[in-house]
Amino acid sequence: MSDKNMTLTLRIWRQKDANSKGGFETYTVTDISPDMSFLEMLDVLNDNLTKEGKEPVEFDNDCREGICGMCSLVINGIPHGDQHRTATCQLHMRHFHDGQTITIEPFRAKAFPVVKDLVVDRSAFDRIIAKGGYISVNTGSAQDANNIPISKEAADAAMDSAECIGCGACVAACPNASASLFVSAKISQYTFLPQGQPERYRRVLRMVEQMDAEGFGGCSNHGECEAVCPKGISIANIARMRREYVKASLR
């Protein structure tokens, strides 16, 4: 940790597109404040590259508040870096030290092809959600939420699962590139609620089948997914998804 401005060496993966061969390029950034976020540090790098007439580094970002899940970077071998329950956009440079070399890569998974540099295509998650990660309303409008009694325990459990921001760190950390934590969280958030019951069994079958079709690997309980999740989603959701899948298959 440092309380003064730093000079850092960055080893960054550069790749023109999904069909091109990529590789690491090394850059030096100076006068980096410890109060900067990791993405602000990359902004400084890109400003410097632009002034030098060079191509800036492409990386995903949006809200920069740990909500959208866009900031998908592997930092020194760990998705989102080594700070517990911290998205890349909330990771501050005070956790690094002057003169340090930082290696920055995109998420690595067959189902997350590289678009350019540090940007990967995570639309596989969108297709999984489209298969069942919603509650259908066929006619009229939704009734007032207060008309449906829900226990605090069920509401809390549903909200714990719904915290998943779909960043994909679980996939990047898993040795099998499994999306089980993401999919199970989305299944669980409706399993606990009465609004999710009519489509309960159809939901789990469709979402799991789409997950497999996208080329994600299977879960073998390494637990790396929970360890890197910026929202601390529990792997207990995966066990719940498996139970739901068995029930749905038997029906």
Which pLDDT does position 144 carry in this prediction?
A: 76
Q: Is the pLDDT confidence value at 8 over 80?
A: yes
Q: Which of 53, 77, 72 is nearest to 61 (CA)?
A: 72
pLDDT tens, residue by residue, 103-116: 999 999 999 999 99
Q: Is the pLDDT confidence value at 146 over 70?
A: yes
- Name the CATH superfamily, with its identifier, for domain 123-250: Alpha-helical ferredoxin (1.10.1060.10)
Q: Which of 33, 19, 212, 45 is nearest to 124 (CA)?
A: 212
| CATH number for the domain running over 6-116 | 3.10.20.30
Asked whether the beta carbons of 163 and 226 are under 8 A apart, the reply is: no
Which pLDDT does position 139 carry in this prediction?
A: 64
**What's the burial of 226, exposed, middle or buried (CB within 10 Å: 0-12/13-18/19+)?**
middle
- Domain spans of the chain, in order of start: 6-116, 123-250
Tokens representing 76?
């020194």
Q: Is the pLDDT confidence value at 61 over 70?
A: yes
Q: What is the mean pLDDT of residues 39-65?
A: 97
Question: How far from each other are the two terminal CA atoms of the chain, in whole angstroms?
Answer: 56
pLDDT tens, residue by residue, 214-230: 999 999 999 999 999 99
- Local structure of 130: helix, strand or coil: helix
d(CA 238, CA 111) in angstroms, rounded, equals 19
pLDDT tens, residue by residue, 159-172: 999 999 999 999 99
Q: What is the mean pLDDT of residues 235-246?
A: 97
- Give the mean pLDDT of the chain: 95
d(CA 247, CA 249) in angstroms, rounded, equals 5
